[in-house]
Amino acid sequence: MADTVPHLKLTYEGANKVLAAAVAKANAMGVPQCIVVADDGGHMLAFARMDGAKVLSIDSATMKAKTAASSRVPTGGIPDAVLEGRLVAATQGKLTNLKGGFPIVVDGKVIGAIGVGSGTGEQDIEVALAGLAALSGAKTAF
């Protein structure tokens, strides 16, 4: 077994491309959003709080991105059993199952995540998917 493996990395430029596309979609929809693009460890690379977006949505968008990066699946469909009890306690409540968080998957590898908050769950999903679509090779169907 190898001691190392090749690793794809989401760059700041890539994160900004995802962010710009998500902001453009939110603008087109007339829904101001908080949008976080994170690396594969859930650490913020790019962020926007659009004029009119809810201030507390900064936290929910951040948690959506962290949860999607960590769980490697979209938020909103994680089984309740996974989010209950020890896991929530062990992460000090840093997981969420609100809709609008997606892993950024390229070549079958999670390289980051996007979290969107301030609209309805369905609006958050639509904006997040528009962001993913801007990144070459990123998975957009979940």
pLDDT under 50: residue ranges of the chain: none
Model pLDDT for residues 74-112, shown as the tens digit of each residue: 999 877 766 666 666 677 777 888 999 999 999 999 999
The total domain count for the chain is: 1
For residue 33, give the nearest of 13, 55, 65 by alpha carbon. Answer: 55
Q: Rounded to two decimals, what is the model's pTM?
A: 0.93
* Token duo for residue 23: 């902001």
Domain assignment of residue 103, yes or no: yes
Identify whether 4 is part of a domain: no
Confidence (pLDDT) at 79:
76
Q: 55-87: buried (b, 16+ CB within 10 Å) or exposed (e) per residue? A: eebbebbbbbbbbbbbbebbbbebeeeebeeee
Tell me what pLDDT residue 115 has: 98
Per-residue pLDDT at 88: 67
Mean pLDDT score of the chain: 93
Beta-ladder partners of 115 = 36, 101
State residue 5's pLDDT score.
Answer: 86
Q: Are 130 and 18 in contact (CB under 8 A)?
A: no
Residue 42 lies in a domain: yes
Domain that residue 78 falls in:
12-133
pLDDT of residue 93: 72
Q: Which pLDDT does position 17 carry in this prediction?
A: 98
